[in-house]
Copies of this chain bind each other. A is one copy, B any other.
Amino acid sequence: MTDVPTTPASAEELRAEIVSRYETLSKRLKQIARYILDEPNDIALETLAVIAERCGVQPSAIVRFAKSFGFEGASQMQRLFRDGLLSNNAALGYSERVRQLDQTTSAQDAEPANLLSEFVEGNSLAIQNLLQTVSGADMRAAVDLLMAADTVHVAGFRRSFPVASYIAYSLLQAGKRTVFIDGVGGLGLQQVHAIGPGDLLIAISFHPYSEETVAVVNAAKAHGGRVLAISDSLVSPVAKPAEHVLQIREAEVRKFRSLSASMCLAQALVINFAFEATRTDGKARDGVGT
């Protein structure tokens, strides 16, 4: 038992100790270490059996862990976290805690923490607004376009680039033939020539709509491809020619337009497709089997 000479005296101390000794721990002990760092509340409130199950480990392993950090048993370690829990918020009664919660989102000035909370609030709202602008039917239609496509091409530049790259990467992961039109080396428009009938272009573009994207959309249409647009308006230059549009109203914090909502929609779309694809695969195989 490679225990540390001095037993940690507070939850913080223990966390620090875990971080520094992490590399020297065995597989299971690492597993537990991560869990403790991630969910100190669980350690404080749940029983060993529950904790053990949640991090996929035997209760005895947790005891071993505690001992290797100088505790007499797992219970002593738990006590540490319970105490921490209380001293962090217990002085406050209920009403005070609720008030504290409100304050985190309301105060305004350009200090780092507050800026973050503005983004948190703004993006959170924008994401929830997705449910208003995108219906289940829209999603269904978008997934159908994906399912029907031979090859999927994805285009998005500047601010939309991250979203486009995410979609392209994930579709590839899901086993779909995908081409990411990334414009590297000025190939932007050349890559478009690969689009043919039966292919789908996913075009992502927001307010000042980049010329490249618009050009790619038009080229895709010219080659007989179909287009799914992700944009902020139904009448934007990328949305107008498209077979289908998923509309997003992004958060705007201090004049900077955000991206979280777009990412959220992108994920929902791609994973929806992945589910649909495996489901259909299964059916196809079943059909052959009989």
User: B-contacting residues of A (Cβ < 8 Å)?
Assistant: 12, 18-19, 22-23, 30, 33-34, 37-42, 44-45, 82, 85-86, 88-92, 94-98, 101, 104, 110-120, 123-124, 127-128, 130-131, 134-137, 139-140, 143, 158-159, 161-163, 165-166, 169, 184, 233-235, 240, 249, 253-254, 256, 258-261, 263-265, 267-268, 271-272, 275, 279
Contacts and interface: CB of A to CB of B under 8 A. Distances in A.
Contact of A41 (B90, B260, B275): B90
Contact of A95 (B42, B94, B184): B42
B112 A140 contact: yes
Contact of A45 (B19, B39, B82, B117): B82
B272 A267 contact: no
Query: Which one of A42, A111, A139, A259 has the greatest number of beta carbons of chain B within 10 Å?
Result: A259
Contact of A159 (B39, B159, B169, B254): B169
A136 B119 contact: no
